[in-house]
Amino acid sequence: MRYLLVLSCVIVILLPSAPSAQFGAIGKKIGEAAKKKAGEPTDSTPKPAEGTPPPKAPATTTPPNEPNVLPITDVSLTALERGLQTEITLRAAYKKELEDQAARAKQYEACSNQANTSPEMMGVVQKSASAYDNVKTQDDMIRAATKIAARPA
């Protein structure tokens, strides 16, 4: 019974609905328009009279009013070049900063390893370990920990 319900839901979802059927004619018209050549006049475009020369493109085109279109001019190319040069400079500075940070991290790790293996640190570890030699009960362990914490550094 459950499979029958799921199957019927899938069939209902996959069946074309009435609104999607209306888009078929529009898609067909778009496909036909795409097949036509760009220079070929459409049915609604009036044909020029015979013997008339084709229209010339204007010498200067005005930029469209679209916000995503940027005309390529000397000014825009200069601005692009300046922006790219700024990015190159900033990337070089960032790379140097990362290299300096890596060098400092390496230096810190070397210093930390040196401090952990120093004779002073080994003495501290030895004293801490020897403090737990005589521990037999939990109370002894608490006393030893308190004694270690109370020692001056």
Q: How do residues 18-76 score in pLDDT, each as one tens digit?
A: 554 555 666 666 667 666 655 555 555 556 666 666 656 554 555 567 778 878 899 98
What pLDDT is recorded for position 128?
Answer: 79
Averaged over 1-28, what is the pLDDT? Answer: 60
**Structural domain spans, the chain:** 73-117, 119-153
Read off the pLDDT of residues 80-105 as tens digits, 9 standing for 90 and up: 999 999 999 999 999 999 999 999 99
Higher pLDDT pick, 2 / 70: 70
Please name which of 23, 44, 22 lies closest in space to residue 33, comparing C-alpha atoms.
44
Task: Give just the sign of the alpha carbon dihedral 88, 92, 97, 99.
Answer: positive
Q: Per-residue pLDDT tens for 105-150?
A: 999 999 999 988 898 888 888 887 787 787 888 888 888 888 878 7
Extract the tokens encoding 39. Answer: 């220079």
**Looking at residue 127, what is its pLDDT?**
80
What's the confidence (pLDDT) of residue 66? Answer: 79
Distance CA 30, CA 68 (A): 25
